[in-house]
Every structure is written in C-alpha cells, then in structure tokens.
Amino acid sequence: MDAIITIHDLSKVYRVGHEKVRALSHINLQIGRGEICCILGTSGSGKSTLLNQLAGLEKPTSGSVRIGKTNISRLSEDQLAGFRQRNIGFVFQSYNLIASMSALENVAMPLLFRGMPRMVRDREAAQMLKKVGLGNRINHKPSEMSGGQQQRVGIARAFVAKPKIVFADEPTGNLDSHTTLEVMKLLIEMSHQNNITFVLVTHDNELARYADRIITIRDGLLVGDERNESPAYLEQAREESASTKHIPADAGQGLCAEAEQAGEQRDAFQPPDEKTFASIPQEKEKENKADENETTV
C-alpha cells in the first residue's frame, strides 16, 4: 500500500484533575493515498480523539503519526499550522463557518493561507461553490443559508485548495436524512475526482457503508478493519445508471479514471510565483517562513 498516513503505537491519555482517561491505546494503522475510509465507533469510543491526532490538532501521549514522510508528532505548533494549511482539509459537524463572511469569503480562506492573490481566490472559490450547487448563494452569509447549504460551503472550503487529505468528524450530524445522503455523495465525489484521501468519523453504520474501508474502535482500541467490497456510492451509481438505462456493470470505474486524471492535473499545479506573494498579509508571510522546511506530502 502507498500509505499517506502511518500510525505507530499511538496512545492518548487525558488528565482530568487526578484522574487519567485513556482515550486511545496502542493503535497501529496505515491509510493509503486516495482511500475513502471510515472510523466507526459508539459515542466515547475515541473517534474524535483519533482524528485529532491524525490531523495534528492534538499531540499523542506516546507513539507517532506520519503523514507522507513527515512525523507530525514532532512538529512545533507553528510548523503544524503550516503543514495543515498545505495538506489537510476539514469538514466539521457544526460547519465552523465564519458568521460575518459570505460563502465566497469562507471558501476563499484556505487559498489566502496559500498566498494566492485575491482575483485567483475569488475565481477558485466561486467555481467551487458552483460545483457544490451553490453558484446562486455566493454572497450569502451562513445565517442566510440552510444547514445543508452551510455544510456544502464547509465542503467547498475543505476541498478548494486540493489538500492531500480531508478529515470529516460527523459531517452530517446536524442534517436530516435526505440532506445527509446528498452531502455524503458530494464528499465522496469530491474526494474521488481529486484523488484525495478521505477520512470520515461516524457512529452511524449506514454512513460507514459509503467508505471503501471501515475501521472500528471501541474503548480506545482498534477492534476491526475491513474492506467494504460494495460501498454505497457505487451502489448508488449503479442504480442511477440503471434508472437512465445505461449498462451498470462498470459503474464507478469512470470515477477512478477521473480521479487519476485529476491527480495528474494536481501534480502539475505550480504554486504562485514570488510576485504573487507580495499580496500576503505580513503575519502570513512570517508563518510561511517558519514552515519553509516542511514540504507538502
């Protein structure tokens, strides 16, 4: 497997007063590039804790997390922030959009951190909003959108800078069942189209069926790791093909070809030149300097 995430003997213990809470115990795991994978478990099993360690939002108590060749457990907070900006996208249960900003401004944020000029940011963000079906809502603030629409903005923001990995913690937790299916489909499509590794955290067995691989944790222990031979998105693609009277046998293969092509296009992407960086705010420039030894994965 071409692993993008490698976890070695990972444990996390929280201290609460004099008590110790062992949230994760000796987890070993590899996640491959482009994999659509789900971390499944009941409430309190340690899913969010695991995701937080994988994404470098928290430091493990012991063990290590590697993303590509970088041992992120060894990075300083500044380096981690830069590393996340370059490589990782997040989708949150409660959307985490900035209330005072429009959909366009929210989606453009990760591109600002990448140092792109305003015109490019606005163009890319508008395109992304169109892709998630919100081309007619770009000037709306979060409070002027439904929950499903806000989560679409959240998805557009997570994918706009073509990160290598997108993490989603219960991304449909606040949505009704119909919107949940739409949002799941969108997340999987976006990941496939851009050959992005997608890690979904959920307690919901039905949602786990969307993933190619289901990793189960219980009481902080990894207790299951299975391939899902017929992920729900392929079943849906077949059903849709059948309903439009196309032959369903190779449904889903087009997704892979598209993903490969997108991967090539992404690899060919060149970062903006020096002149472009003239438009980055001072503090961002400092941040970029602090991280310049850390490569993308």
Ligand X SMILES: Nc1ncnc2c1ncn2[C@@H]1O[C@H](COP(=O)(O)OP(=O)(O)OP(=O)(O)O)[C@@H](O)[C@H]1O
Q: Is-contact 24 53, C-beta < 8 A?
A: yes
Judged by CB under 6 A, which of 48, 151, 172, 197 binds ligand X? 48
CA end-to-end span of the chain: 16
Q: Phi first, then psi: give them for residue 95, nearest 5 degrees.
A: 70, -40
- Residue 93 interacts with which of ligand X, Mg ion, none, CB < 5 to 8 Å by class: none
Is there binding between residue 41 and ligand X (CB under 6 A)?
Answer: yes
Which amino acid does the sequence have at 195?
N
Is there binding between residue 151 and ligand X (CB under 6 A)?
Answer: no
Is there binding between residue 44 and ligand X (CB under 6 A)?
Answer: yes
Pairing of strands 70-71, 221-227: unpaired
Judged by CB under 6 A, which of 18, 43, 245, 273 binds ligand X? 43
Which region among 26-34, 43-51, 145-153, 274-282 touches ligand X (by CB under 6 A)? 43-51
Give 26 or 289: the residue with its C-beta nearer to ligand X: 26
For residue 144, give the DSSP letter. G
Is there binding between residue 202 and Mg ion (CB under 5 A)?
Answer: no
Which region among 11-19, 42-50, 232-240, 265-273 touches Mg ion (by CB under 5 A)? 42-50
Q: Is-contact 97 174, C-beta < 8 A?
A: no
Give 48 or 102: the residue with its C-beta nearer to Mg ion: 48
Which amino acid does the sequence have at 34?
G
Judged by CB under 6 A, which of 4, 36, 47, 207 binds ligand X? 47
Q: Is-contact 61 13, C-beta < 8 A?
A: yes
- 187 to 226: interface string for ligand X, x by CB under 6 A: ----------------x-----------------------
- Residue 192 interacts with which of Mg ion, ligand X, none, CB < 5 to 8 Å by class: none
- Residue 156 interacts with which of ligand X, Mg ion, none, CB < 5 to 8 Å by class: none
Apex CA 24: angle with CA 165 and CA 225, to 5°? 60
Judged by CB under 6 A, which of 4, 5, 7, 23 binds ligand X? 23
**Axis-axis angle for helices 118-131, 103-113 (nearest 10):** 130
**Among 15, 98, 94, 3, CA closest to 54:** 3
User: Looking at the DSSP assignment, which residues form a beta bridge with residue 32?
Assistant: 3
Q: Where does the chain have alpha helices with state H?
A: 47-54, 77-87, 103-113, 118-131, 147-159, 177-193, 205-208, 232-243, 253-268, 274-277, 282-290
- 44 to 73: interface string for Mg ion, x by CB under 5 A: ----x-------------------------
Give 44 or 117: the residue with its C-beta nearer to ligand X: 44
Apex CA 17: angle with CA 14 and CA 23, to 5°? 20
Is there binding between residue 16 and ligand X (CB under 6 A)?
Answer: yes
- Residue 175 interacts with which of ligand X, Mg ion, none, CB < 5 to 8 Å by class: none
Judged by CB under 6 A, which of 9, 14, 254, 256 binds ligand X? 14
In the complex, the residues that contact ligand X under the rule CB under 6 A are 14, 16, 21, 23, 41, 43-49, 203
In the complex, the residues that contact Mg ion under the rule CB under 5 A are 48
